[in-house]
Structure 1
Amino acid sequence: MALSEEPAVGAVEDPVEDRAEDAALACGAFLESFGESAETKELLGRLPAVLGDRAAREGALERFRVIMDKYQEQPHLLDPHLEWMMNLLLEFVQDKKSPADLVHLAFKFLYIITKVRGYKTFLRLFPHEVADVHPVLDMFTDQNPKDHETWETRYMLLLWLSVTCLIPFDFSRLDGDLHNQPGQERVSTMDRILQIAESYLVVSDKAQDAAAVLVSKFVTRPDVKQKKMASFLDWSLCTLACSSFQTIEGVIAMDGMLQALAQIFKHGKREDCLPYAATVLQCLDDCRLPDSNQTLLRKLGVKLVQRLGLTFLKPQVAKWRYQRGCRSLVASLQLSVQSPRDPGIQTETPDSDGEDDVPEEVESVIEQLLVGLKDKDTIVRWSAAKGIGRLAGRLPKELADDVAGSVLDCFSFQETDNAWHGGCLALAELGRRGLLLPSRLPDVVTVILKALTYEEKRGACSVGSNVRDAACYVCWAFARAYEPQELKPFVAVISSALVIAAVFDRDVNCRRAASAAFQENVGRQGTFPHGIDILTIADYFTVGNRSNCFLVISMFIAGFPEYTQPMIDHLVTMKINHWDGTIRELSAKALRNLAQRAPEHSARHVFPRLLSMTQSPDLHTRHGAVLSCAEVTHSLYTLAVQQGR
């Protein structure tokens, strides 16, 4: 989980120092970018010269990759340079005198840029006039779909063709010259494009993804959807039904069909796709994708199912959803200056969506998404969680509440860690969209507190770190979604649970996720006790060292009475019997330190409990209890000596 985009309220910064540092960084970045820009122009300009030398050609490609990789984390910095780089490379492509090897090399460079920046940003820069349609189509005549050395060329050509398909003219106007070609079979431009798209949907390389993009933009055109949409969907469903995920060829074919269908139902108009949605859903059910061992097929199946569900439901924003109010910081500050916040802010609105009938197919869609929440792979669970959030936003209040209740059923101890993880992701999606009403918060907070400490032993190790990380994401999302007065009854338990996770969790990602969630709550809720003080010592970076967390940061936080006893109780309950010996040793030392913060509680409650745990039949529990007894005894003795008792 990432840190929040906005700084926490109360964070102290030096504006003068920050401006100077930003200026220095900007100057350095400008100089570096200027030097790389000149080097890149020189590198791209001498592509014809290195064409005959394989070593020089590979060296130029590798150097270009090194330059582009610097922009992986912030690819938007490439935007000022995209146009001239593309124009420079397309000059080689569009020059009819360029040899085939030079064209392929230019497309390799274009693909490297696309991989870093993303094809969606890159698409609009391709030439996309009417005069570009046939030249791009003609380039496909020389392409071999089975040539694995030139797949970048076919990938970029398909993307280019998908842009030229957006011209606002009927494709039949481009077919006039076909009547003047005697002795050749007349093939319309529309048919040529569709044939190319269908042929590349069943290939095993990256061109398949671009073919799906091409289909989504081409088949949904006003002139094409009337003539070709039904036949294409029929072909894709037949291919899907005839393919089996038990064979490699079947997996490749199903991958292409699912991608194409998902893209069509995403970009097509609802009224165009609705007549086919029920048929597609039935075909998808018959494929039994949840039984496949192919992660990508299951993910695409979940993605297509949720888009079919969105097609069945009208695109509307639920009027009953919880609204926090002003989400803009400027608007919130102006509102607070003009008038104090009204504590009686309306949080639930009457449901006026009940007059719209929900199709029966939506129930099947939601059931499949709930099954997807329990999938064994994270990307499938994440896609299902987003689908549940999107569909719930279009449902009536009662049905959406039933969906939330079904999600809460994932948090049963009969369920696996996969179900817990998927349930947390779904709750976060529902919460941040305002689809979890405050009346549901008591039930949700109860399961989230369990998820923050979820750990299930498996042999010599344990599972559950992803569940704890997702639970932190839920807390992070709730901080943004709800007004402080809605979360006020749960502040004590949530703040203690997040502090405990940030300090005592075994996994560094979970500690950092908890720290980020705590920071978000401190900044946006402002009700967490001693939030700013804790953040100054338990930030994203300092919680990276586990020993420092157990022995130093915990001692500081225990100085605040609200957190002392929950931290001690957590160590006794969850950590001194941990399967990892290092955690047991650190927990015993942490109890020694914390005993100085709460000596009465440690002597009267903690120590007798530790003594009883030394008789446990579990070896880990007995070992941790013996260590903790020794450490707590020594700490209490030292404290008594210091006080002269």
Structure 2
Amino acid sequence: MAAEDSQQDDGMEAIGFGCVNEEFKEIEEVRSLISKLTDVYTDQIAMETTVERFTFIVDQYQEQPHLIDPHLESLMNQLLTIGRNVNTPPALQNLAFKMLYLITKMRGAKVVVRLFPHEVVDVEPVLALITKQDPTDFEAAETRYMLLLWMSMACMIPFDLSRLDSNAPQDSGDHKLPIMDRIYNAAMRYLLVVEKSRDAAAYLLSRFMTRPDVKKRKLPEFLDWAMEYVAKAEYTTLQGAISLTGVLTTLGLLFKHGKREDLLQHAGRVLEAVTQLSLLECDNNRLRKCGVKVTQRIGLTFLKSRVAKWRYQRGSRSLADNLQLSKEAVQQRQAVSSTGPQQPGEDDEDEEFDIPDDIENVIELLLMSLRDKDTIVRWSAAKGVGRITGRLPRELADEVVGSLLGLFTLQESDGAWHGGCLALAELGRRGLLLPARLPDVVPIVLKALAYDERRGNFSVGAHVRDAACYVCWAFARAYDPVEISKYVNHIASSLVIASIFDREVNVRRAASAAFQENVGRQGTFPQGIDILTMADYFAVGNRTHCYLELSMYIAQFSNYTTDLIDHLVDIKVHHWDSAIRELTSKALHNLTEKAPEHMAKSGKERY
């Protein structure tokens, strides 16, 4: 008996703690590789072997980078100890910062930058290291990028920077300038370069300009320079487009991090300068995205930060809190929501504030960007529409929704449908799409779930269907079940059809995830738990399994039987992909026994 218990404990250790032990071994190996840098940096083969092994281990955390968080700060400090030492040879210093860059690429700069040392004593050494860098030395590109990120944190010390000038070395060159000017010049030096340091310099400038002592002296100077540069910008060349990207990125981050009272006086002319660029006609998608970000953040600057009192409020969004509510409380909350979140005129002071005329131009540009040919631009525009609508009065917000619904026509491109779905999801999850609009929105979402436009020997529309699943996922979290009850059967059938019959695996999985979210949050989907048990996120990964087995299981539920058959007969029988047509014929053969009369009637009416 004792031997059996011992074997069981060993098995549990292998299953439960194997991953932890493996992770611990990998982290220890990483620490060992870092500690050996001083010995291998002079040997080219040993150095390349070390970097290759380090990259392999770090890349394993790419899908779940948060797993390295408990060790992240200690690894950074170990590398910075090597990199910040003034006696460290340049080759070893570049190697340390290169490894730190690999960690940053895996975990994300927003997380890593918060863990940099940011004491007063760090400002001068980091600035000295940046000043020593050569922008043309491409082997030290990672070093420059990490130093600029480090300075973006170090420059935020809560003391006036003029206090540090008395301690600065008074030798020749740049050191004669005040430290404020030196940091500004160092960032501007890398703002227009053709490398990753450009992004770090933009982030550094945006954080540096928000300091109380800096914004008085340097903010007007920088904005004057930026406006002059934008006015003369020529983005038809690669170099011009890259340089303009750095300037626009800085402006976008500046309006994100800065205070409204400091930037409001400059917002109008910045918007005018960006509008005159006509970036929607530019071929560079990164540049168009930067233009959308600047535009939406200027729009947010025009409007005071507020929470719209007219927005729809479901109540608690936490599943744990919802499960703790009593049945009477749930019924009471649903009864209140059935009367509408708020009627016009209930809160007049919410409407009594001026809306600048420039807001109309901002919203128009964002709506036009929802039609963009690149997803990154449409996604940024959709988030901008959601953020700005949340600060508008009810009537103006409803006009935005009306304009948004105008994107869903046969004359519009698939990009407009995709961008429109993303915007609807953003409005829904923010409570800005009131239940009164659901009769107009739900039919559009159902059409988007089946959107498939033929283009020769292929079709487009997978991204539209994926975005429509995101809308259904957002609606599940946004509305009370009583608001969605009249649309439940249609949404459930459309999501089931997409999850088992769609050609693309990412759409099937998105539909399955949206169906699961609705079952958990709404609790009103017919046979929801039974279907999820079989057709979960992983089960829908195999298309043949979906068509021939899952369809048979779901068809036993009368709520879905005829919808499954009708979809196959109307859509999939004449699909452009021969593999889909073949699977459709087999699926229809199998489904005949589930509804023979309907099958015969459907075939007779259609053929």
TM over 0.5: yes
Instruction: State the TM-score, normalizing by the size of structure 2.
Output: 0.94
Letter of the 1:607 counterpart: G
User: Is 1:344 paired with 2:328?
Assistant: no
* Maintained 8 Å contact 1:351/1:397: no
Per the TM alignment, residue 332 of structure 1 is displaced from its structure 2 partner at its CA by 2.2
> Is 2:461 the partner of 1:471?
no
Contact kept in structure 2, 1:431 and 1:477, CA below 8 Å = yes
Structure 1 letter corresponding to 2:341: E
Q: Cα deviations across residues 90-148 of structure 1 (Å, max 9, x unaligned)?
A: 22223232211111111111111111122222223222222221111111232111111
Does the 8 Å CA contact 2:41/2:47 hold for their aligned counterparts? yes
Report the CA distance shift for 1:501/1:589 in structure 2 as closer, same or farther (over 3 A).
same
CA distance 1:411–1:260, shift in 2 (3 Å): same
Between stretches 121-130 and 360-369, larger displacement belongs to 121-130
Q: 2:303 aligns with which of 300, 308, 313?
A: 313
Deviation at 1:592, TM superposition (A): 2.1
Provide the aligned length of Structure 1 versus Structure 2.
592
- Indicate the residue corresponding to 1:31 in structure 2: 21
Q: 1:164 aligns with which of 131, 134, 154?
A: 154
The yes-or-no answer on 1:294 pairing with 2:284 is yes
2:266 and 2:483 mapped to 1: Cα distance?
43
2:186 to 175, 191, 196: 196
Give the Å deviation of 1:436: 0.6
The reply on whether 1:379 has 2:376 as its aligned counterpart is yes
Aligned pair partner of 1:235 in 219, 225, 233? 225
Matching residue of 2:6: none
Distance (Å, rounded) in 1 between the aligned partners of 2:191 and 2:276: 21
Q: Structure 1 residue 236: deviation in Å?
A: 1.4
Does the C-alpha gap of structure 1 residues 569 and 194 become closer, same or farther in structure 2, counting only changes over 3 Å? same
Q: Distance in 2 between matches of 1:340 and 1:324?
A: 11
Query: Aligned pair 1:405/2:398, yes or no?
Result: no
Q: Would you say the 8 A contact 2:169–2:175 is kept in 1?
A: no
- Answering whether residue 127 of structure 2 is matched by residue 137 of structure 1, we say yes
Q: CA 1:378 to 1:339, structure 2 compared with 1: closer, same or farther past 3 Å?
A: closer
The aligned counterpart of 1:250 is 240
Deviations 1:226-270 (A, max 9, x none): 011011011112112212111122112101001100110000011
Structure 2 counterpart of 1:328, from 315, 318, 328: 318
- Structure scoring higher RCO (CA < 8 A, sep ≥ 6) equals 1
Q: 2:604 aligns with which of 584, 605, 608?
A: 608
Larger CA deviation: 384-393 vs 506-515: 506-515
Unaligned runs of 5+ in 2: 1-8
Deviations 1:589-626 (A, max 9, x none): 222222222222222x2122343xxxxxxxxxxxxxxx
Q: CA deviation at 1:294?
A: 0.3
CA distance in 1: counterparts of 2:302 and 2:30, whole angstroms: 49
CA contact (8 A) 1:239 1:253 kept: no
Equivalent residue number for residue 490 of structure 2: 493
1:610-629 matched pairs, under 5 angstroms: 610-611=606-607
How far did 1:381 drift?
0.5
| 8 Å CA contact 2:499, 2:510 repeated in 1 | yes
Query: Aligned partner of 1:423: which letter?
Result: G
The change in CA–CA distance for 1:305 and 1:23 in structure 2 (over 3 A counts) is farther
Q: Is the 8 A contact 2:126 2:147 kept in 1?
A: yes
- The separation in 2 between residues aligned to 1:514 and 1:179, in whole angstroms, is 63
Equivalent pair of 2:174/2:182 in contact (CA under 8 Å): no
The Cα offsets for residues 45-99 of structure 1, whole Å up to 9 and x where unpaired, read as 1111112111111111111111111211222222222222222222222323221
CA distance in 1, matches of 2:268, 2:15: 55
Q: Per the alignment, do residues 70 and 21 of structure 1 end up closer, same or farther by CA in structure 2, a change over 3 Å counting?
A: farther
Please state how far the C-alpha of 1:221 moved relative to its aligned partner: 0.4
The match for 2:262 among 260, 267, 272 is: 272
Matched, 1:429 2:419: no
Of 447, 455, 459, the residue aligned with 1:462 is: 459
The 1:20–1:434 alpha-carbon spacing in structure 2 relative to 1, beyond 3 Å, is farther
TM-score by length of 1: 0.89
- Picking from 260, 272, 275, the partner of 1:285 is 275
Q: Which amino acid aligns with 1:116?
A: M
C-alpha separation in 1, matches of 2:442 and 2:82: 60
Q: Which residue is equivalent to 1:439?
A: 436
Shift of 1:338: 6.7
Q: 1:325 to 1:235 in 2, by over 3 A?
A: same
Match of 1:576 among 542, 560, 573: 573
Matched, 1:67 2:65: no
d(CA) in 2 for partners of 1:500, 1:579 = 18
Query: Which amino acid in structure 1 is aligned with residue 467 of structure 2?
Result: A
Q: Identify the residue that residue 550 of structure 2 maps to in structure 1.
A: 553
1 CA distance for matches of 2:353 and 2:81? Answer: 55
Alignment of 1:144-159 (within 5 A): 144-159=134-149
Matched, 1:597 2:594: yes
Mapped partners of 1:595, 1:93: distance in 2: 71
Q: Does 1:43 align with 2:33?
A: yes
- The equivalent of 1:10 in structure 2 is none
Asked if 1:124 corresponds to 2:107, the answer is: no
Q: CA separation in 2, counterparts of 1:182 and 1:414?
A: 66
* Residues 351 and 396, structure 1, Cα contact 8 Å, conserved in 2: no
Alpha carbons of structure 1 residues 177 and 458: separation in structure 2 relative to 1, 3 Å: same
Supply the distance in 2 between the matched residues of 1:509 and 1:213 (Cα, whole angstroms): 34
441-450 or 342-351, which deviates more = 342-351
Match for 2:215: what amino acid? K
For residues 185 and 425 of structure 1, do their structure 2 counterparts lie closer, same or farther at Cα, with a shift above 3 Å needed?
Answer: closer
